[in-house]
Structure 1
Amino acid sequence: MIIIPAIDIIDGKVVRLKKGKKDDVTVYSDNPIEMIEYFNDLGIRRVHIVDLDAAFTAGKKNNRKLIWEMAKISKSMIEVGGGVRRFEDVEEILCCYVNKVILGTMPVKEPEEFERAVSVFKDKLIAGVDVENGYVKISGWQENPKIEYISFLLMMRDKGIKEAIITDITRDGMLKGIDAEFYKDIALKTDMDIIVSGGVRDINDIKKVKELGKFGVVGVIIGRAFYEKTISLEEAVRLQDD
């Protein structure tokens, strides 16, 4: 298991949303670079960055240059998602110190662009699967294409994508705790490396994720719990696998 702190960005600021709603935003820092420096000091091995401006505008507005600056100074592996719609978006994001790109909307809305991305960057792609009431939501959680989430994951797996970040939308940003059975079921049905996202509240949730390791759950993203100080990253990191 690996601990993955999250940095969500709007207008160059570190924010968190509740259930992905852009009108329910809390700003935690005006300086994302300082967050990266802090994670460097902690020995964090992986950081999850979401460009919410890009997600909400289909990539028309983005924080890409800032993200490259963050990735350049980071000692961690950097994964980036939000507003990735075209092959060129993937290519551009990966150009400068970023290690992996998260795709969720592109496979649904731009399947030909997705095929191009897979053909060139397959090992650098992560499935981003945001789930609500059994279905995948896309476009910054603003659209429901009525695709059942396990079917979507199996499609991604069959394209050669090995890793998936699963966000439980009903719990995201709510500090309700994770639904361990939900993630166990996904791991068993898909045979992918699953990363938990949404609902982490305290160190007990991290212990639950660690227990899920035997089923194929490999990591956990920590967002609001870290920013609201209901969890200590230092304590969480000590539970990581070597």
Structure 2
Amino acid sequence: MDVIPAIDILDGRCVRLYQGDYARSEVFGEDPVEMAQNWYSKGAKYLHVVDLNGAKEGEPKNLKVIEAIARSIPIHVQVGGGLRDRNQIMAVLGAGVSRVILGTIAVEQPQLVADICAEFPGQILVGIDAREGRVATRGWLTTSEVIAADLAKRMTDVGVAGIIYTDIHRDGTMQGPNLDALKHLAESVNVPVIASGGISSIADLLSLLSLEPLGVSAAIVGKAIYTGDIRLEEALKAVSNGRWQDIPPEVGTAIV
């Protein structure tokens, strides 16, 4: 399982939101490029970047910073936030990004997602951000009536390379991942699932290893690596060496 550091960009700075609330942001760095280089130096093989301004406004707003990140480190960078049409997606891919993450249009324009998947095979992920099992869109400002697992199934059918699942109520809270929801989602699809939201410790990462046989292939870690609750080097080593069968009972009992 991969551990993927997150860089959320708001007004050009590295921030973390609490439960997706733009009014409750905490700044962790002034230079996203420097932060990306830091995570690369500590062993990251992938980087997860979100343009929060773009997610809120419906079009990329930090493209120059994103391009600078992608050009500065020789690892895979996946980017989401405000990608709502083909030209925007092409602009981000043209900036050196490996994969793009589509969210709102998966709900509002599923045929466009199908067309983009056919045009850029293997480079399209869908981010499913959920509140109590229902999909949130437009920078998490709107909650739809769409069930997360149902959307995941539909997006798998149109050819997405993977699903990023975020439980908004866990995001930024350091309360641990929603293992039950992740298990249900992973059992619903036949593409890799990336876990996001609430991961606060190496124990949380090890608990996710119990879902690796179901297809949970990676975990995105945000606030915990900025506060120091998780040291990226130690997390990468622990996940690499760990097997879910070896997880201590107090870590693994949340999932059977």
Same fold (TM over 0.5): yes
Q: Secondary structure of the equivalent of 1:122? A: coil
Letter in 2 for 1:2: D
Q: Give the aligned partner of residue 23 of structure 2.
A: 23
Q: Give the aligned partner of residue 251 of structure 2.
A: none
Instruction: Give the superposition deviation at 1:82.
Output: 0.2
RMSD over aligned Cα atoms = 1.4
Equivalenced residues, count: 241
8 A Cα contact 1:87 1:116, kept in partner: no
| Unaligned stretches of 5+ residues in structure 2 | 242-256
Identity %: 33
8 A Cα contact 1:87 1:114, kept in partner: no
8 A Cα contact 1:131 1:167, kept in partner: yes
**Residues in 2 aligned to 1:239 and 1:210: alpha-carbon distance in whole angstroms:** 11
Q: Secondary structure of the equivalent of 2:94? A: coil
Q: Secondary structure of the equivalent of 2:8? A: strand
Inter-CA distance 11–220: structure 2 relative to 1 (3 Å threshold): same
Q: Secondary structure of the equivalent of 1:72? A: helix
Q: Give the aligned partner of residue 131 of structure 1.
A: 130
Instruction: Give the superposition deviation at 1:114.
Output: 2.5
Q: Give the aligned partner of residue 208 of structure 2.
A: 209
For 1:48-197, list aligned pairs within 5 A: 48-59=48-59, 62-197=61-196
**Residues in 2 aligned to 1:128 and 1:166: alpha-carbon distance in whole angstroms:** 6
Q: Secondary structure of the equivalent of 1:123? A: coil
Instruction: Give the superposition deviation at 1:141.
Output: 0.7
**Residues in 1 aligned to 2:212 and 2:115: alpha-carbon distance in whole angstroms:** 32
**Residues in 1 aligned to 2:126 and 2:27: alpha-carbon distance in whole angstroms:** 27
8 A Cα contact 2:114 2:159, kept in partner: no
Q: Secondary structure of the equivalent of 2:193? A: strand
> CA-to-partner distance for each residue in 1:37-93, whole Å, 9 max, x for gaps?
11221121000000000001111x600011000000112200000000001111110
| Unaligned stretches of 5+ residues in structure 1 | none
Instruction: Give the superposition deviation at 1:112.
Output: 4.4
Q: Secondary structure of the equivalent of 2:144? A: coil
**Residues in 2 aligned to 1:36 and 1:42: alpha-carbon distance in whole angstroms:** 10
8 A Cα contact 1:2 1:220, kept in partner: yes
**Residues in 1 aligned to 2:88 and 2:68: alpha-carbon distance in whole angstroms:** 17
Q: Secondary structure of the equivalent of 2:200? A: coil
Instruction: Give the superposition deviation at 1:122.
Output: 3.0
Inter-CA distance 182–108: structure 2 relative to 1 (3 Å threshold): closer
**Residues in 1 aligned to 2:31 and 2:124: alpha-carbon distance in whole angstroms:** 27
8 A Cα contact 2:28 2:226, kept in partner: yes
